[in-house]
Amino acid sequence: MSSSAAKRQSKGKANGVSRKKSKLVENDPPALSEEDDDNEDDYDDQRSDDDDVDELAEDNASLRVKGPDHIGVVLLTGGTNWDLNGRKSVPKGCKSVGRNLYEPHLFVPLKDTRVRFVASSCNASHTIFITEDGKALALGRNEKGQLGVKDLIRRDIPTPIEGLPPHAIVNAATGRGHTLLLTDRGAVYSCGDNKNSQCGVKIKEPIISTATRVKYNGPPIVKVGCGAEFSIILDCKGTLYSFGLPEYGQLGHNTNGEYIERAGAINFATIKHPKPIITFVEKTKNKVEILPKPEIRDFACGTNHTVAVDDHKKAYSWGFGGYGRLGHAEPKDEFQPRLIKYFDVQRSGVKYVACGPAFSIAINEFGAVYLFGQMSSRGEANMYPKPVQDLHGWNLRSIGTCAIGLVAAADDSCIVWGSGTTSGELGLGELKKSSAKPCEMKKLDGLYVEQVACGTAHTFLLARDQSEDDKDILASMPEFKPVVS
């Protein structure tokens, strides 16, 4: 037995928990409150006018989309120069303030704010915070208006998003330059880069600088997600909708939208408003079989691909297929959701998925963790899901993916994994900025982290602060207060 495995086993016994028997405790996506299930049928009929939908939402005032139950305090590690993160140099005219944090710090601007959810992504240098009372605050890069604060000036202090309705915000997602926000009435708002229609609004402007209602009038939405330049939303009946750039088939509509604009110039026909993903397939060597449309329960977006899980715990993937990130044992792009056969062969259902730029993570119903794709340019490319033995026994509940690594909340600690990271996003300290194998973030040992949200070169952690032990650990942590110019 390796030393790390022995440590996990002894640590589990000390806490009265057998790690080998632990199962995944996932952060469930928002769902309709049980008492509101009868209201779903009121949304069956599509409306062509947004005002009709608003009136319908008011008529069904009892309708609520549930967000996370947990709340906590915000910690930060990694790069805090939002204009530099993910780049080799700061663009002309951008700020140069900010520094790298090589271990977790208490984020002072939100020190006295109770937070329920944090949204960022491997493509983003901006972050959205959803407070206990359902307010949305934005932080970071803003050159495309992705913060929704009426201008294109970056924010080093979390700032309220403009244009949102007086309803609670329960979910959010970030792309490279755009943002989606979900209200507890099941309505979606967006802001930021709209060059490829990834905001899904009526307005044709390339930049949407305040939160604007997405042009959608179907059943209430329960989760939102963003790739680099595309968006996906999930309704309460298990249907996915996508909009934005289809270049690699990431919208799932059996096309990449390619057309010849003029001699020698290829362009892509973007999807301007949410369009349902209807066809799911299973491929064998000799044929393609169209499957009965599944009810999707959860999904995750990478830069140009998506992985989804249905109510029978089957997994599907589509989009850019390079380095095996789709898990189909071949690097081909998939233009529509394709069943990942590996998990059927293993006879194990999938309960949780996460996506990085060029890799995907899946956790099965027994808690085993699988990686497919390539985590770093120097790493191995797994063409199909491969179990991560170093994570055996850990009870992972939330995974964040940065540009070339991941951070996962696990039991009373955090597991990090990634080589080549330099900004401190893995929280390992200044002398060890990365790790080729999964290892513990020592500074958080003993602290229960509810949720992890990684950006291109930064990581926010939502930590529990209920017990005296929690408070003692948090009180001993260094603090980070942004410099505001």
> Full-prediction pTM beyond 0.85?
yes
Where would I find the H helices in 321-373? Answer: 341-346
Three-state secondary structure readout of 9-63:
HHHHHHCCCCHHHCCCCCCCCCCECHHHHHHHHHHCCCCCCHHHHHHHHHHCCCC
C-alpha distances (whole Å) from 358 to each of 323, 363, 423, 436 are 7, 17, 20, 16
The pLDDT of residue 150: 97
Per-residue pLDDT of the chain (485 residues; tens, 9 = 90+): 444 444 444 444 333 333 332 333 334 555 555 444 433 333 333 344 444 445 444 444 567 899 999 999 999 999 999 999 999 888 888 878 889 999 999 999 999 999 999 999 999 999 999 999 999 999 999 999 999 999 999 999 999 999 999 999 999 999 999 999 999 999 999 999 999 999 999 999 999 999 999 999 999 999 999 999 999 999 999 999 999 999 999 999 999 999 998 877 899 999 999 999 999 999 988 899 999 999 999 999 999 999 999 999 999 999 999 999 999 999 999 999 999 999 988 888 999 999 999 999 999 999 999 999 999 877 789 999 999 999 998 999 999 999 989 999 999 999 999 987 789 999 999 998 899 999 999 999 999 999 999 999 999 999 999 989 999 999 999 999 998 76
CA dihedral 250, 256, 257, 258 (to 10 degrees): 140
The pLDDT of residue 88: 87
The pLDDT of residue 28: 52
d(CA 187, CA 53): 9
Amino acid type, 367: G
Burial class (CB in 10 A: 0-12, 13-18, 19+), 352: buried
Q: pLDDT tens, 153-188?
A: 999 999 999 999 999 999 999 999 999 999 999 999
The pLDDT of residue 96: 80
The pLDDT of residue 37: 42
* CB of 100 closer than 8 Å to CB of 442: no
d(CA 353, CA 375): 15
The pLDDT of residue 482: 95
The pLDDT of residue 30: 56
Contacts 24+ apart (CB under 8 A), 364-367: 364/24, 365/23, 365/24, 365/313, 366/23, 367/22, 367/23, 367/24, 367/394, 367/395, 367/396
Q: pLDDT tens, 254-273?
A: 999 999 988 778 999 999 99
Three-state secondary structure readout of 56-95:
HHHHCCCCCECCCCCCEEEEEEEECCCCCCCCCCCCCCCC
Nearest to 413 by CA among 366, 445, 457: 445
Provide the 10 A C-beta neighbour count for residue 230. 31
* CB of 92 closer than 8 Å to CB of 445: no
* CB of 225 closer than 8 Å to CB of 299: yes
The token duo for 253 is 């509509």
